[in-house]
Structure 1
């Protein structure tokens, strides 16, 4: 199983991302992931980093579909691959119904159908094929101008079994967030692997895992709430967590954050303890874990988040019999 880093800050200036992009160069981390930013566009940030010479593999998980057309999504993902010289993982998801309504005027009546069309179009375009889709939500008859570029994998954000099966059918990656390892291994990953796959290449599973190293003056519940408090207020996350056996309320308060910690959806402890808990994701069938230290960055600062990442990744490299690269 590979380890990667989630950018734990939402930059208002691109310089704020340099430290974490450099961690990918200095450690065993596979790539730098970014979530959907509503401050500075993630693709622009990636190309800015490449422009100053910090060129690392990038992952976007997940970009919200209402923000851009599938053609623009494919164009931007390949642009990042060209700028960085590295493969890109471009993950997408429909987002909350309230977000769909705010940007589109109405939510997707069939979000699985919309996701299928979107991923199919983007994947065809980044693969250099003609995208000839006349769909219910997206219709495209186009292709990207052919240029040699590192590959772009297309992913779907996965919280529940139906989207997991869809990712297993039409995507290169299934990207999970905020779900415990046992639920992934027992429910979601079997749905991914058991899908009627339309592609020759096997689907891979990426799990974005919120965590923090236990230190004096830190509180696990406060860190979990800082990391994922907004998600705990979203109905689709509440439903996904309940399916995983986490009895969250409808409010997304500190009590829910504590339940997420107790369930192992937010990991907290010594570096050795964290490695043990992360090993459960590998045993569940996860191919890549993305270390999410956003709560540490919010409550204790970006340098503290970087220190946690260095310790976790250093231990991961030592366990694999190799030092940081």
Structure 2
């Protein structure tokens, strides 16, 4: 079942609109917190600053995003909340559908559900589950999840899931999937309501990811869903400090096979001894004063990216800089 047509048109990469109000609706802020009260306050503060979309990740050491969103919904009125992402292997799609339906009841029209297979070191090394055929598994997962949420009933028999269930009502929560390499972007075009990238250089997104996304959509005879591009932002005019913070943020990912192959596909491989890390960091981080950052974010959207998923890279004071970034995004009107 395709992404709702009006939403595709709203976030179309072919749009030439550069008005600030439109731009603000296309920029989401990543909220990171290990304490529930602090996370809820950050979401409420982001809404007060004018931010229209926040995103939160889900991993073993983090809070449960959907539970947190349900609580945050009672402290906010309109900000959209998205998961980027909920790993698929540890959580059955029917369970996730029940959670999403509950959040949707509390905050109608405000949830965007990003899911993905995560990575073998996490799924096998932490959860002790098999991480096999991630794209095939993800395709079946989304089929079950969409049937449960959008149709209210599931009768699915595949290689990974055999599910027969009925939910009390429906909710057309947008279902997005994570994507790093071309196969995943093509799958996103075929089955999802959006592709969420992570640490993908912009030229790679424009030259390889977007064509794959659109090819997948065309093959499935549907409109291309939006590409949500992950962008690192450092609010500092000190280039060395910004780059140093970015290197520390991304170094872990260079050892993960999926990311290492994507970086190589993007022409920015990182060797085991760290060679290439500086060039990769330069390609990923937006830095400067507020005016410079606004200009660079605006230019990224003008190049053809549908939405931005902005992650702060703190340089001096994380709390102060997050509030500053929220005001910056919220002020783009």
TM-score scaled by structure 1?
0.85
SS of aligned partner of 1:219: helix
The answer on 1:304 being equivalent to 2:327 is no
The equivalent position to 2:301 in structure 1, one of 268, 282, 294, is 282
The answer on 1:258 being equivalent to 2:275 is no
1:42-81 matches, cutoff 5 A: 42-53=65-76, 56-81=79-104
**RMSD of equivalent CA atoms:** 2.4
Structure 2 unaligned segments of length 5 or more: list them. Answer: 1-22
The answer on 1:153 being equivalent to 2:174 is yes
Change (3 A) 1:247 1:45: same
Distance 1:217 1:192 in 2: 33
Distance 2:253 2:225 in 1: 26
- Cα drift, residue 227 of structure 1: 3.1
The equivalent position to 2:310 in structure 1, one of 291, 304, 310, is 291
Structure 1 equivalent of residue 183 of structure 2: 162
Structure 1 equivalent of residue 264 of structure 2: 242
Give yes or no for contact 1:161–1:187 (8 Å, CA) kept in 2: yes
- Cα drift, residue 54 of structure 1: 5.8
Which is further off, 156-165 or 55-64? 55-64
- Cα drift, residue 68 of structure 1: 0.4
Change (3 A) 1:30 1:257: farther
The answer on 1:142 being equivalent to 2:165 is yes
Give yes or no for contact 2:139–2:191 (8 Å, CA) kept in 1: yes
The equivalent position to 1:22 in structure 2, one of 45, 50, 64, is 45
1:81-100 matches, cutoff 5 A: 81-100=104-123
SS of aligned partner of 1:21: helix
Which is further off, 50-59 or 86-95? 50-59
The equivalent position to 2:229 in structure 1, one of 201, 204, 207, is 207
The answer on 1:173 being equivalent to 2:194 is yes
- Cα drift, residue 238 of structure 1: 1.3
Change (3 A) 1:187 1:206: same
- Cα drift, residue 91 of structure 1: 0.9
The answer on 1:116 being equivalent to 2:115 is no
Distance 1:21 1:256 in 2: 39
Structure 1 unaligned segments of length 5 or more: list them. Answer: none
Distance 1:281 1:75 in 2: 36
Distance 1:23 1:232 in 2: 31
SS of aligned partner of 2:271: coil
Structure 2 equivalent of residue 5 of structure 1: 29
Distance 2:68 2:159 in 1: 32
Distance 2:168 2:87 in 1: 24
SS of aligned partner of 2:114: strand
Change (3 A) 1:273 1:52: closer
TM-score scaled by structure 2?
0.83
Give yes or no for contact 2:28–2:53 (8 Å, CA) kept in 1: yes
